[in-house]
Chains A and B, each alone.
Chain A
Amino acid sequence: MRPAVLPTEELMGSGHLACQGCGATQAMRFALKALGPKTALVIPACCWSVIDGSFPHSCIDLPIYHTAFETAGVVASGVKAGLEMRGDTETTVMAWAGDGGTFDIGIQSLSGAAERNEDIIYVCYDNEAYMNTGIQRSSSTPIGAWTTTTPVTNFKKRPKKNMIEIMAAHAIPYIATCSTAWPHDIFEKFRKAREIKGTRYIQILAPCPTGWKLPPELSVEVARRAVTSRVYPILEITENGSKLSVWKDFEPSPVAEYLSMQGRFRHLEEGEMAGIADEVERNWERLLARERMLAAIPGLEG
C-alpha cells in the first residue's frame, strides 16, 4: 500500500459525540474525504446515531438520514431512487452501519439491495459487537471474545460470520475490506468505489476502545495488528465476485500479541490463544487458495 496525499478539506467537523480513539469516527472521516461533498448518508441505529450529534447539531456537513436499525440497505436504495427521479444522478448515496446492523438485523435489506445491485455504497464499520447498546455480542464478534452477553465464563464460542463471502455470493461489482490503521487505503478504496456503478460493499475494521477494553491511544496500533497478524485480511473482490486479491505485503506479527493487547481476550488461556492462532492461519491459507483458484479461471485477468 503506497501512501497517498489526503485532501485537507473536512466534511466531518469537530464536536462529534464518540469516545476517544473511536475507530468508527476515524473511518467516517477518511471515507468522506474520498467521497466529497456530493454525498448523502443513511445511518441506521448504531454508535453513529449518537456520534453524529444531538438535534439540532450534526458533525457532518452532508445530508444524513437516520433510520431504523435494520434498514440501511433499503433506505439507501430508496434515497437513490428518490434523488434520481428528481434528476439528480450525481449524488453518491452511502449507507453507513455497524456490524450488528449489517451482519445481523440488517442482512435482509442489505441482501435485497445487493441482489438488485442498487447503486449505493454500503459501509460496515466493524467494531465486532453491538457497542451502542453496551457491548453485546454480534455475529461479527470473533471467537474467544468477551462481551456483556458472552461473559468470560462463557465467552464467544462460534467464529465470526464471514460476511465478505456472503456479499461475494451476491455477485456485486465491488467488495473491499480496510482497517483504520491505513487511512490512505480507505481513501483510495472509497475513491475507486465512488466511480463504480452498482452495489459496493466496504467493511472497515474500526476498533472500539470502550468495547475492546483497550487504551484509546492503542486504537490505531490494534487496527494495524489485526491486519499484520492476518486476523483481519485486507482484500478486494471485483469482477462481480469472481476475482479476489489479498494484501500480503506486510511484516507478519503474532496473533497472540494482537489478542493480548485487548481486555476482551484477557481471560483466554494459552492453549485457547494457540487454537485461535491456528484457525487464523487456516483461514489465511484458505483465503490465499481461493485467490489462486479464482486467478486460475480463464477469462479473468490477473
Chain B
Amino acid sequence: MKKVIMGNHAVSYGVRASEAKVISAYPITPQTHVVELLSEMCANGEIDAKFIKVESEHSAMAAVIGASAAGSRAFTATSSQGLLLMHEMLHWAVGGRLPIVLANVNRAVGPPWSIWTDQNDSLSQRDVGWIQLYCESNQETQDTIPIAFRVAEATQLPVMLVLDAFFLSHTYEIVDLLEAERVREFLPPYEPTIRLDTADPHSFGNLADPGYYMELRYMIHQAHTEAIGVIEKSQEDFGDLFGRRYGLVEPYMCDDAETIIVTSGTVASTTRAVIDELRGEGTKIGSLKIRLVRPFPFEAVYEALSGAKRVIVIDRNISFGLHGIFFQEIKSALYGRLDIPVHGFIAGLGGRDITPKVVREIADKGLAGTDLERDINWIGVKT
C-alpha cells in the first residue's frame, strides 16, 4: 500500500512491519513523531509491543538493553542531545552484543540550541561500535528498519539508522508501506542463542580481567568486518523480495567520471540534480552516496572512486581541529592505493540549506582546483 507520510512516520511503519516487541523512548524534536505514532500503534493493538515510557534517553537506551538481553526485539529513537545522553549506554549495547535498532534523526548539537539538521550528533558516536546507515528518502528510511534488524540479529551488533532533521523527518513523501506478513519472510521472529533465562543461567557483562577483555573487543571488530557481507546480502534479499535495492555506497554516473562528489543523507539527491546539470554541460562528473558509515565500506568506496581523477567530499559535520569526517574516511580508504586530490568542503551545519546552487559552487571550486585550502573549505560562512 502506498501512502504519503513524513520521514518520522516512515520509521514508525518500518518498526511496525518489523514486529518489534519492546519500544522505549523519550521525546525530543525532531524525532518525537516516531514514537508518538508507535505508542498509538501499541495502544490500539496494531503492533504487539510493550512501550516503556521512561524519564530520559539514557533510560530509554537502558530499557531496550534490558529487553534485548531478555530476548525481545527492541527499538528506540532519538536525536542530538538525546543521542549524546545515551552515549554510555550505546557502549553497553555494543559490549553486550545486543541487536537493538535505533533511529537517530540527525540534529545539530547545542549550544547554541539548534533543532535543524547536521551530522555531528551521530558521527560523534562513530567509534562506539554501532553499525551506522544514513538514509536519503522516506522510502529508504522505512525499508532500512527491517534491514537493520536483520543485520543486527545476524551480527549481534546494534544498528543505528540516521535521517536528516526536517528534510526527511518532517517532509511528506509517497512511501510503499511494508506489511508485517511479508516482512516476516525477510526477518523471522527474533530467537537469540543466549539470553537471560532462568532455565540456563549466565552472568552477562561481569568483570573481565585483562586476560579476556581484549579478545571480546577483537570479536566486536571481527563482527564489524563480517557485517559488510551480511549487510550486502540482507539488502540483496530485501531487493529480491520488495524490488527496492540499496547499496553500501550508491554511485551515480561514476563509470566514466573524472570528478566524483561524495555525499550522504539528503544532500545526495540534491547533488544528483547538479550532476545532471553538469553532465548537460559536458563535465565528466558523478556522485557517490555513502550509506554505510560503520563498518566503513573501504572496498566499495575504492572501487567506485578508482577511475576518478579528483574527489570532492561534502561534509555536513566537522571534527573540530581536523576536517570533515567523511573527508577523513574517504582519504583513509584511498591511502596508498589511489593518489588523486581529495577536496573537503564543510556545508549546511545547523540546518543551513544545501541547495543545488551550493552544490554547484562546491563542484565549481573543486573542479577548478584552485583557491582551495588543502583539506577543509567552508562554504557559505559569513565573515
| B69/A82 in contact, CB under 8 A | yes
Question: Using Cβ atoms and an 8 Å threshold, which residues of chain A touch B206?
Answer: 49, 52-55, 58, 64, 66
Q: Which stretch (A34-42, A247-255, A261-269) binds chain B?
A: A34-42
Q: Which stretch (A69-77, A135-143, A147-155, A217-225) binds chain B?
A: A69-77
Q: Please, how many residues of chain A have a CB less than 8 angstroms from a CB on the other chain?
A: 44
Q: Please, how many residues of chain B have a CB less than 8 angstroms from a CB on the other chain?
A: 42
Q: Which residue of chain A is the closest to B212 with respect to CB atoms?
A: A55
Q: Which residue of chain B is the closest to A58 with respect to CB atoms?
A: B203
Question: Using Cβ atoms and an 8 Å threshold, which residues of chain B touch A70?
Answer: 58
Q: Is A256 an interface residue (CB 8 A)?
A: no
B199 CB, nearest partner CB in chain A, Å: 9
| A49/B207 in contact, CB under 8 A | yes
Question: Using Cβ atoms and an 8 Å threshold, which residues of chain B touch A37?
Answer: 198
A299 CB, nearest partner CB in chain B, Å: 31
Q: Is B59 an interface residue (CB 8 A)?
A: yes
| A40/B198 in contact, CB under 8 A | yes
Question: Using Cβ atoms and an 8 Å threshold, which residues of chain B touch A117?
Answer: none
Candidates A60, A62, A74; contact of B66 at CB < 8 Å: A74
Question: Using Cβ atoms and an 8 Å threshold, which residues of chain B touch A163?
Answer: none
B interface footprint on A104-148 (CB within 8 Å = 1, 0 otherwise): 000011011001100000000000000000000000000000000
Chain A, interface SS category: mixed
Question: Using Cβ atoms and an 8 Å threshold, which residues of chain B touch A71?
Answer: 58-59, 62, 65, 89
| A78/B196 in contact, CB under 8 A | no
| B204/A66 in contact, CB under 8 A | yes
In whole angstroms, what is the CA distance A36 to B52 when docked?
27
In whole angstroms, what is the CA distance A189 to B234 when docked?
51
Question: Using Cβ atoms and an 8 Å threshold, which residues of chain A touch B18?
Answer: none
Q: Is A61 an interface residue (CB 8 A)?
A: yes
Q: Which stretch (B70-78, B109-117, B342-350) binds chain A?
A: B70-78
| B203/A75 in contact, CB under 8 A | no
With A68-B89, A109-B62 as known contacts, state yes or no: A62 contacts B201, CB within 8 Å.
yes
Residues of A85-105 at the interface with B, using a CB-CB cut-off of 8 Å, are 85-86, 91
9 inter-chain pairs at a CB distance below 8 angstroms, sorted by A residue, are A37-B198, A53-B203, A54-B207, A62-B198, A63-B203, A75-B66, A83-B71, A85-B70, A109-B59
